[in-house]
Amino acid sequence: MSTRLSLCVYCGSREGASPAFARAAKAIGEGIARRGWQLVYGGGRAGLMGRVADAALAAGGQVVGVIPRTLMEREVGHAGLTELHVVDTMHQRKRLMAERSDAFIALPGGIGTFEELFEVWTWRQLGYHDKPVGLLNVDGYYDALLGFLGQTVTGGFVSPQQHALLEVAVDPVALLDAVGRLAPRATAPDDYGRI
């Protein structure tokens, strides 16, 4: 497998209410490309998904999109990617994205973004992979969630070690630096075969 890091980005198919969200998506896409990494994402052209992909492509990066057929029109699949994989189900989408990635980060988004973030964080905690999982807290978007996650520790349902597996930053460069330091450089093709 290539030594180039592949970073999976989860984010909204909408722009969101704050202009800071789009700026952060652009900074992440540019940062991935400038590091010589590859972006893996949900394959859409709309919202923050489109912003991060367009920024990576404009900066000369390689971008891999994975989108289910049923969302191809709704999310408007991005036609200008390095690779666009159209799959049958959401499970296939998430599996292929995970297999193609060495690290994961979430930007602002809705319930789909939350579900993807929590799934890969759970897989990490269960030992199905050792890839870093990060969260970009743009403009305080995840403040309430982060407060609740602290409560899961004090409530005794999440250990401090499990909690610490989630890298959190407010600055895109800092988050990219953190996951870049922690990411393994080789990924077995069947990492997710047990899930």
Specify the CATH architecture of the domain 7-179. 3-Layer(aba) Sandwich (3.40)
Model pTM above 0.75: yes
- Predicted local distance difference test score (pLDDT) of residue 190: 44
Q: Residue 88: in which H helix or E strand, if any?
A: none
What percentage of the chain reaches a pLDDT higher than 70? 92
CB atoms within 10 A of CB 90: 16
The CA angle 90-162-122, to the nearest 5 degrees, is 15
Q: 87 has which bridge partners?
A: 68
Residues 47-58 pLDDT 10s = 999 999 999 999
Collapsing DSSP to helix, strand or coil, 9 comes out as strand
Residues 66-100 pLDDT 10s = 999 999 877 689 999 999 999 999 999 999 999 99
Token pair 């909690």 is found at 163
CA 147/CA 46 separation, integer angstroms: 30
Question: The tokens of 148 are what?
Answer: 């609740």
Contact 13, 51 (CB under 8 A): no
Residues 118-146 pLDDT 10s = 999 999 999 999 999 999 999 999 999 99
